[in-house]
């Protein structure tokens, strides 16, 4: 990057290596998945489709996710790149396709910002509604999301180690609270039953259960790849990043099973369907056993967890912009500004751009939903519209990235070198494609409004990204390909 440093008049443009160890990287995965999601949000969708068998949803979802992400885990073993997914696509399909995916990923990032910011405000809204029977106005809800995004921005521009240690503490608090509250409810409830682990008790039988896995289980794990984008700043990234992702998914899966079990047995099999319609399933299930004070403590930890649930993927979004700028994607002048590293060792200007795009997206989505549907329905739609878009973006990003590994291993003539490479780079991507395409069909084939409109936006942004990158390439854009310097094949 000496060339880039010259173009930036001596300004620092390199990320600081060796900042995050295995456990800090793992807790980034835990934060991005957000353990309390199975108590405060995802529980509704899980119970809607899987009923009393909802505790199996995070477990089966994790098994499918771990299988579908084998190519990404393999990528983490051979490359340490701040651009994450787009680096793998660039290795496999070339620089133009890589930059297309990098640009397309920005849409995913800003909708993830919108998802986490709206979830934060929605959790505060539902807490006041459930505990105190007070309804917050729409403009206050929107204001809270802006405050959330600013707080998230601050965590992305300070020293990464401080952010990581703060995140570690908050994730440990989440884990302790979930385990303690869940066990207490399980010990007190008269409804404990092993039928909660029988998928056939789902309202729609086995097919209904798997629909819950597709629509709730996958959403639970969407942000799992956060450590990929921090790999250049990690300790021994080729060894630690893939482990951090796997450990984080396994840990949150076990927490999800325990949490969901405590919720469904806490309220009982005859009343479990009510969790699908309440504003905050976790509070509704726990407060009768634990009381108001415990409910307030639970809510505060949930808010803190949601904040870091935005920060962890937000760090990835910032580094996606930074990596594109380092590759001179945004033109010489703008790229030179975006790639600058601030005094704390992080890409502050890229973080500012991410903040601006996140605020614009979030305010537009929330304002439209509240205007057309009112409260609380508008807030609910704003949350799950952003979530629906995030999952759609994630499916597309994953499909291209998985087969990027196949193409890269073929180009480097190691695809058929051994059985392991065949399984990792051929069998796993095909299996992942089947899982994702089936999930995509089940989740998006009959979308009602406003989710269908959101899906159309995803397709429009996909087309826009492809056309924009093609035009830049045709006009003679000269991009760099930093990922080629970051690969380490065994």
- Residue 484 has φ and ψ, to the nearest 5°, of -65, -20
pLDDT of residue 489: 76
Contact 310, 113 (CB under 8 A): yes
CA contacts within 13 A on the Cβ side of 402? 25
pLDDT of residue 15: 93
SS3 label, residue 20: strand
CA contacts within 13 A on the Cβ side of 464? 11
Whether the bond between 450 and the residue before it is cis, its omega within 30 degrees of 0, is: yes
All structural domains of the chain, each given as residue ranges with its CATH number in brackets, are 2-394+435-485 (1.20.1740.10)
Apex 339 CA angle, 331 and 462, nearest 5: 60
- Residue 314 has φ and ψ, to the nearest 5°, of -60, -40
Local confidence pLDDT in tens for the 490 residues of the chain? 444 444 565 668 889 999 999 999 999 999 999 888 877 766 777 887 788 888 998 898 888 888 888 999 999 999 999 999 999 999 999 999 999 999 999 999 999 999 999 988 887 887 787 777 777 888 888 999 999 999 999 999 999 999 999 999 999 999 999 999 999 999 999 999 998 899 888 887 887 787 777 767 777 788 899 999 999 999 999 999 999 999 999 999 999 999 989 988 988 888 887 776 666 777 778 888 988 888 889 888 988 998 999 999 999 999 999 999 999 999 999 999 999 999 999 999 999 999 999 999 999 999 999 999 988 788 888 988 898 899 889 989 989 999 999 999 999 999 999 999 999 999 999 998 888 788 777 767 766 788 889 999 999 999 999 999 999 999 988 999 999 888 887 6
Closest among 54, 6, 85 to 408, alpha carbons compared: 85
The token duo for 237 is 């990234």
pLDDT of residue 330: 95
pLDDT of residue 334: 95
User: What is the pTM (predicted TM-score) of this model?
Assistant: 0.91
- State the DSSP code for 216: I
The token duo for 400 is 């291209």
In order of 136, 231, 356, the CA distances from 245 in angstroms are 37, 11, 29
Query: What gap in Å lies between CA 428 and CA 389, rounded to an integer?
Result: 25
């Amino acid at each position: 990057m000496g060339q880039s440093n010259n173009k930036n008049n001596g300004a620092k443009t390199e990320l600081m290596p060796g900042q995050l160890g295995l456990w800090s990287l793992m807790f980034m995965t835990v934060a991005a998945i957000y353990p309390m999601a199975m108590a405060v949000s995802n529980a509704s969708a899980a119970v809607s489709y899987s009923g009393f068998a909802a505790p199996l949803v995070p477990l089966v979802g994790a098994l499918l996710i771990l299988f579908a992400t084998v190519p990404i885990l393999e990528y983490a073993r051979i490359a340490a790149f701040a651009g994450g997914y787009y680096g793998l696509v660039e290795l496999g399909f070339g620089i133009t396709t890589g930059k297309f995916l990098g640009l397309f990923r920005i849409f995913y990032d800003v909708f993830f910002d919108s998802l986490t910011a709206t979830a934060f405000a929605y959790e505060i809204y539902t807490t006041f509604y459930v505990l105190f029977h007070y309804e917050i106005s729409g403009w206050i809800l929107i204001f809270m999301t802006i405050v959330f995004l600013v707080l998230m921005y601050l965590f992305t521009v300070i020293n990464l180690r401080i952010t990581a240690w703060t995140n570690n503490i908050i994730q440990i608090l989440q884990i302790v609270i979930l385990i303690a509250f869940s066990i207490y409810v399980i010990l007190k409830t008269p409804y404990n039953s092993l039928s909660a682990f029988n998928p056939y008790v789902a309202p729609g039988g086995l097919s209904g259960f798997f629909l819950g896995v597709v629509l709730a289980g996958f959403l639970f794990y969407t942000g799992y790849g956060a450590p990929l984008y921090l790999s250049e700043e990690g300790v021994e990234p080729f060894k630690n990043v893939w482990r951090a992702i796997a450990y984080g998914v396994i840990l949150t899966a076990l927490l999800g099973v325990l949490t969901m079990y405590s919720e469904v047995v806490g309220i009982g099999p005859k009343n479990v369907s009510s969790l699908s319609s309440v504003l905050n399933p976790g509070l509704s299930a726990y407060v009768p056993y634990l009381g108001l004070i415990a409910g307030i403590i639970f809510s505060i930890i949930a808010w803190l967890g949601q904040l870091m649930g935005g920060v962890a993927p937000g760090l990835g979004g910032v580094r996606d912009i930074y990596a594109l700028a380092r590759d001179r994607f945004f033109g010489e002048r703008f790229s030179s500004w975006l790639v600058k590293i601030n005094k704390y060792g992080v890409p502050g200007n890229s973080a500012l751009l991410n903040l601006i795009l996140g605020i614009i997206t979030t305010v537009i989505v929330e304002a439209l939903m509240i205007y057309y549907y009112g409260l609380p329905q508008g807030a609910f739609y704003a949350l799950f519209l952003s979530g629906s878009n995030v999952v759609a973006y994630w499916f597309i990003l994953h499909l291209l990235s998985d087969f990027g590994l196949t193409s890269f291993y073929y180009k480097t003539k190691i695809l058929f070198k051994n059985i392991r490479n065949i399984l990792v780079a051929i069998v796993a991507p095909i299996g992942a494609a089947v899982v994702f395409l089936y999930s995509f069909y089940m989740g998006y084939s009959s979308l009602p409004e406003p989710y269908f409109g959101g899906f159309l936006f995803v397709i429009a942004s996909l087309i826009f990204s492809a056309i924009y990158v093609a035009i830049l390439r045709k006009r003679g854009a000269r991009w760099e390909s930093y990922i080629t310097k970051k690969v380490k094949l065994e």
